[in-house]
Amino acid sequence: MTTAPASASHIAIRTENLCRHYRMGETVIRAVDGVSLEIRAGEFVALLGSSGSGKSSVLNLIAGLDRPTSGSVIVQDRDLAKLSREELAKYRLRVVGMVFQSFNLIASMTLAENVELPLRFAEVDRGKRDTLAREALERVGLRARMHHRPSELSGGEQQRAALARALINRPQLLLADEPTGNLDSHTGTEILGLVQEFNQQLGMTVVMVTHERALAERYAQRMIFLADGKLIEDRANEVAANVSPTRLGSGAQS
Amino acid sequence: MKIPDLTELALRNLRESLLRNSLTTIGISVGVASLVAMLSLGIGLQQLFSRRLAKSGLFDTVLVTSRRDMRGMSREDERNGPRPGESRVLDESVRQEMEHLPNVLEAYPDIRFVTELRYEDKPHLTTVAALPASAKSNDAFEGMQGGFFSSDTATEAILQKSFAEELLGKTPARGMDETNVADLAKPLLGKELTMRYAQRAPSAAQATPSSAGTTNPSDGDLAAASYSVISREQKLKIVGVADLDPESMRGPTRAKVFLPLQLAESLHVMQPTDLREISRAASDQPVYSSISVRVKNPAQVQSVEDAIKKMGFGTFSILDASKGLRLIFTILFAFLTIFGSLALVVASISIVNTLVMAILERRREIGIMKAIGASDGDVKKLFFAEAGSMGILGGILGVALGWTIGQVINFGINIYLRSQGFPPEHFWAVPWWLVAFAILFAFVVSLVSGLYPAGRAARLDPVQALRYE
């Protein structure tokens, strides 16, 4: 892993007075309203809040899926607001891996095809694509089902496949939007176990949006609470913080 | 994304909505088929005309006349050509000279005279003309009953259908069905005609030319110009009855009875030009009213015509007429292309419709692709690939369909032609360039149709697209 952060103090994501306002007729909806935060490389951060608190919007801004109305998102020294659409797509392709509540696998494709799709956009050769997709599915324990379609799998299996897809380009950031929202608690734990594994073994910085505080407390090292688009609380989580980012930096080399 | 990946994804997406995309593809193929059908009809007709005209000898023949007969083909000809008085006469030496011009296949004299023919002791007056052996391949003799002359010197005759009717007294009433040429030929073939004609024979004066250099230097020429005209008879065997008129282009001077060329020459029949040239003819050599020069290739007609004009003769070829014909075909072509393309335009609207539907349906998928790193360009290219694939598939299918339609129509019309007593024709042609053009055209049209949907898909906001259920 060459993408592992060099030190714990290295800032992976920084937002400064981040705002995202939508105009709905006459009224302006302030989905994100002046959020400033810093996330260190290798951290596992949970974004918490009730629905409509703006946590997903923050995640989309970090993912480069959306552009801020004002303020800035700086990811590894890139100011996302200043990137062109093309550069933003490259950023999503190479730097970010995403998983969603509804898995978002493409129904017409087999698992292997879904997983290797980012590699197609990256114009990786077919042979190498096959190997990487196999490896990624192996990692999430779905090697045997690589030729199945998403509809033939359980929710947990689908989310594991989505994780494999998010992993395939070896991104530094893993952004998860309610990854357990559609899963039963047992399967949810399983998935978050995998996410934690990626965080610890691969040194990926994880930002997870969730409204399940219990899960966040169990896995995240840090919890950021949002309400009405504003950051209201940002605290380290003693329970899960047993693995320090510093250890990760060297540990990820294995 | 690389082209093979794009194609693979595009084809997969097309398979996903198989019915809708098949219908669109069929729409394109119907459009292409109509285009191919229209154009191949145009090409086929043009080829048919060219073939017919080539066979008729119109396109590769230059008609040469002496300026001495005072008639130009146009007023302009009359003004610009050599003055009639200085023009040479068309005699055997000139004919040979023309035959030796480059690119000339043959030059044969036009022997033509009005005379009396007797059949079963009844006299019939008509125009008789001589045909060279090469006329055998002439289109007009295609549906002929009997056969062509057995040799170029045979004492045989071929009748035009209307003369055959006259001989049998079977002239059809106006508005009635035309008589079948086979019925006319049956009683006539192998029968004998007696042709009476005026032979031009060297006179006694020819043998003793007056002593040169006496009073008038032209005395000798004048003496040489004398000849006798003797009435003669020649028996001819009817070997053929031609259905079509081989000389329709000659208008009122067209002949109804044809003789082999060498036979006609050996008869030394008095020609109308003989009288005109009586004051000038330097020998007893016959003078021709016109000579037909056949050129190896229609493309060389112009150069041969120019060469003959330089020799001081008037010429006429169908080249000018063919220019007009080409113009007509160009216009016909443009019309056929426009009407043929209309169906393709309709098809292209259905491509737009299908792809816009696909965007709505696959909105979420587009969002996913963008979220995992697809650029606007990737999404755009994917939709283009889908449009292009439908275009190429539709194009191939359409060419096959158009070809089949053409074959069926050609077959059907040939059945009709046969039932009407015409020989079958091939007026349907799908050349390779048309196949390539049609597929390429379908491809380009589909890409243009994909322009709007692809742009729309590319601009889709991923956040909204992902929210879409």
pLDDT tens-digit readout, B82-109: 566 666 777 788 888 888 888 888 888 8
Beta bridge partners of B118: B123, B194
> From the CA atom positions of chain B, what is the Rg in Å?
35
Q: Assess whether A43 and A136 both reside in one domain.
A: no
| Mean pLDDT calculated for residue range B330-341 | 84
Euclidean distance between CA atoms B313 and B288, whole angstroms:
13
> From the CA atom positions of chain A, what is the Rg in Å?
18
The pLDDT tens digits for B355-373 are 898 888 889 999 999 999 9
Euclidean distance between CA atoms B430 and B403, whole angstroms:
7
**Residue A120: per-residue pLDDT:** 92
Note whether A86 contacts B16, CB cutoff 8 Å: no
**Residue B210: per-residue pLDDT:** 45
Chain B CB contacts of A173 below 8 Å: none
Euclidean distance between CA atoms A242 and A221, whole angstroms:
8
- Least confident span in A32-36, B161-165, B249-253: B249-253
**Residue B192: per-residue pLDDT:** 87
> Which residue is closest to A162 within chain B, CA to CA?
B372
Note whether A108 contacts B370, CB cutoff 8 Å: no
Contact between A40 and A7 under an 8 Å Cβ cutoff? The reply is no
Give B 10-69 residues with CB within 8 A of chain A.
12-13, 16
| Confidence class for position B416, pLDDT limits 50, 70, 90 | confident
- Give, as one character, the DSSP assignment of residue B180: P
**Residue B75: per-residue pLDDT:** 56
| Confidence class for position A206, pLDDT limits 50, 70, 90 | very high
B5 touching chain A per CB within 8 A: yes
Tokens of B222: 């004048």
pTM of the predicted protein model: 0.68
Distance from CA of A118 to the nearest CA of B (A): 6
Q: Does position B114 have pLDDT exceeding 80, yes or no?
A: yes
Domain final residue pick, A133, A148, A170: A170
Residue A2 lies in a domain: no
| Mean pLDDT calculated for residue range A29-47 | 92
Chain B CB contacts of A90 below 8 Å: 373, 375
Which one, of B34, B20, B149, B115, lies nearest residue B395 by Cα?
A: B34
Chain B CB contacts of A164 below 8 Å: none
**Residue B50: per-residue pLDDT:** 73
**Residue B278: per-residue pLDDT:** 57
The pLDDT tens digits for B265-313 are 888 887 766 665 555 554 556 677 788 888 887 777 888 888 888 887 8
Q: Does position A235 have pLDDT exceeding 70, yes or no?
A: yes
Task: Print burial letters for A202-223: b (CB count within 10 Å at least 16), e (below 16).
Answer: bbbbbbbbbbbeebbebbbbbb
Q: Does position B203 have pLDDT exceeding 80, yes or no?
A: no
Q: Assess whether A138 and A244 both reside in one domain.
A: no
Domain final residue pick, A151, A170, A189: A170
Taking all residues of chain B, what is their mean pLDDT, rounded to a whole number? 79
**Residue B259: per-residue pLDDT:** 87
Tokens of B269: 């029949």
The one-letter code for the residue type at A58 is: V
B-interface mutation test, from A120, A128, A165, A182, most B Cβ less than 10 A away = A120
Residue A242 lies in a domain: yes
Residue A1 lies in a domain: no
Q: Assess whether A24 and A81 both reside in one domain.
A: yes
Q: Assess whether A82 and A117 both reside in one domain.
A: no
| Mean pLDDT calculated for residue range B324-345 | 82
The pLDDT tens digits for B225-241 are 567 778 888 888 888 88
For the domain that residue A70 is a member of, what is the CATH number? Answer: 3.40.50.300
Tokens of A92: 């999503």
Expressed as residue numbers, the domain containing A238 is 11-95+171-251
| Mean pLDDT calculated for residue range A132-145 | 91
Task: Print burial letters for A17-45: b (CB count within 10 Å at least 16), e (below 16).
Answer: ebbbeeeeeeeeebbbbebebebbbbbbb
Q: Assess whether A89 and A182 both reside in one domain.
A: yes
Q: Assess whether A188 and A91 both reside in one domain.
A: yes
| Mean pLDDT calculated for residue range A181-201 | 91
The pLDDT tens digits for B52-68 are 766 666 667 788 877 66
The pLDDT tens digits for A77-123 are 889 989 999 999 999 999 999 999 999 999 889 999 999 999 999 99
Q: Assess whether A60 and A90 both reside in one domain.
A: yes
Contact between B302 and B312 under an 8 Å Cβ cutoff? The reply is no
**Residue B81: per-residue pLDDT:** 58
Residue A48 lies in a domain: yes
Q: Assess whether A70 and A115 both reside in one domain.
A: no
Note whether A86 contacts B466, CB cutoff 8 Å: no
Q: Assess whether A158 and A178 both reside in one domain.
A: no
Euclidean distance between CA atoms B372 and B357, whole angstroms:
23
**Residue B104: per-residue pLDDT:** 86
The burial class, CB within 10 Å (0-12 / 13-18 / 19+), for B51 is middle
A96, A98, A99, A131, B61 from A113: Cα distances, Å: 19, 17, 16, 12, 70
Partner-chain residue, chosen from B13, B364, B373, that has the shortest CB–CB distance to A92? B373
Q: Does position B418 have pLDDT exceeding 70, yes or no?
A: yes
Task: Print burial letters for B304-338: b (CB count within 10 Å at least 16), e (below 16).
Answer: bbebbbeebbbbbbbbeebeebeeebeeebeebee
Taking all residues of chain A, what is their mean pLDDT, rounded to a whole number? 87
Distance from CA of B367 to the nearest CA of A (A): 9
Euclidean distance between CA atoms B256 and B195, whole angstroms:
13
Helix axes B363-371, B376-419, angle to 10 degrees: 140
| Mean pLDDT calculated for residue range B184-206 | 78
Q: Assess whether A61 and A113 both reside in one domain.
A: no
The burial class, CB within 10 Å (0-12 / 13-18 / 19+), for A125 is exposed
Residue A141 lies in a domain: yes
| Range picked from B183-197, B260-274, B364-378 for highest mean pLDDT | B364-378
Size of interface A-B (CB pairs under 8 A): 73
Q: Does position B207 have pLDDT exceeding 80, yes or no?
A: no
A55 touching chain B per CB within 8 A: no
Tokens of B450: 């994909």
Domains detected in chain B: 3-54+325-467 (no CATH), 60-110+288-317 (3.30.70), 113-287 (no CATH)
Count of domains observed in chain A: 2
**Residue B255: per-residue pLDDT:** 82
Q: Assess whether A138 and A33 both reside in one domain.
A: no
Residues near A213 by beta carbon (within 8 Å), at least 6 away in sequence: A48, A223
Element (H, E) at B323: helix B319-361
Q: Assess whether A16 and A128 both reside in one domain.
A: no
A49, A171, A230 from A45: Cα distances, Å: 13, 16, 17
**ipTM passes above 0.90:** no
Distance from CA of A104 to the nearest CA of B (A): 6
Contact between A198 and A230 under an 8 Å Cβ cutoff? The reply is no
**Residue A13: per-residue pLDDT:** 93
The pLDDT tens digits for B116-163 are 888 888 888 888 888 888 777 766 676 678 888 888 888 888 888 888
B373 touching chain A per CB within 8 A: yes
Euclidean distance between CA atoms A160 and B141, whole angstroms:
84
Chain B CB contacts of A104 below 8 Å: 364, 367-368, 371, 466
Residue A130 lies in a domain: yes
Alpha helices in chain A (DSSP H): 55-63, 85-94, 111-121, 126-139, 155-167, 185-197, 213-219, 245-251
B378 touching chain A per CB within 8 A: yes
Domain final residue pick, A170, A188, A219: A170
Q: Does position B178 have pLDDT exceeding 80, yes or no?
A: no
Q: Does position B165 have pLDDT exceeding 60, yes or no?
A: yes
Which one, of B241, B233, B243, B150, lies nearest residue B191 by Cα?
A: B241
**Residue B284: per-residue pLDDT:** 57
Partner-chain residue, chosen from A60, A121, A169, that has the shortest CB–CB distance to B374? A121
Helix (H, G, I), strand (E, B) or coil at B455: helix
Chain B CB contacts of A89 below 8 Å: 370, 373-376, 378
| Range picked from A138-147, B81-90, B110-119 for highest mean pLDDT | A138-147
Chain B CB contacts of A109 below 8 Å: 12
**Residue B166: per-residue pLDDT:** 84
Percent of chain B predicted with pLDDT > 90: 13
Note whether B368 contacts A104, CB cutoff 8 Å: yes
A166 touching chain B per CB within 8 A: yes
Residues near A8 by beta carbon (within 8 Å), at least 6 away in sequence: A40, A41, A42, A244, A245, A246, A249
Note whether B372 contacts A60, CB cutoff 8 Å: no
> Which residue is closest to A62 within chain B, CA to CA?
B371
Distance from CA of B371 to the nearest CA of A (A): 7
